[in-house]
Amino acid sequence: MAVVTGASKGIGSGIAKALAQAGASVVVNYASSQRDADRVVEEISRAGGRAIAVQADVSKPAHIEHLFSETTQAFGRLDILVNNAGVYEWGPLEAVTEDLFHRQFDLNVLGLLLTTKEAVQRMGPDGGSVIDIGSVISSLLLPNSAVYAATKAGVDAITGVLAKELGPRNIRVNSINPGVIETEEVITR
């Protein structure tokens, strides 16, 4: 049983479908695009898989609790968490504001930590797997990506720390750092 955050489109949608094809029941998490999430669930169901869509903004603790409550109610257990939800906005230093900083850090870093914390509480004694979606941007250090690159460097650090912290509990924590991929959510200045 897998929860994929930010799974209504882009990379998350592909991950959700691949997990379902491999035999996992999947929770397709979305923040605002129910139509897209329902489409992913329908594609999984048509291919013979099991999936539900659950709305939750994973930068908000109450939403995270709702996400995992719905997950437990539908499937009874949790084996895999994919922390894919994220936002990015590129721009020069002059465009950095407190709001821009918090919008990206609250979802990309704090949301990942809080979602993982909740998921770990629901993984049984056999453990499970947490997969964090980072970005090659954390090491490329491209101009106009200071805030986003910092969030993804944070994902890299958190993944390494939690791999050591949760490993003794049979919970694997790994990251995937894809290259630049065109998705529906590109925001540039």
DSSP, res 171:
E
Residue 148 a catalytic site member: yes
Look at the chain and count its residues: 189
Strand order in the sheet with 80-83: 51-55, 26-30, 2-4, 80-83, 128-133, 171-176
Of 43, 32, 136, 124, nearest to 85 by C-alpha is 32
Pairing of strands 26-30, 128-133: unpaired
Active-site residue, selected from the candidate residues 148, 149, 151, 175 = 148
- Contact (CB, 8 A) for 7 and 30: yes
List, by residue number, the catalytic residues. Answer: 148
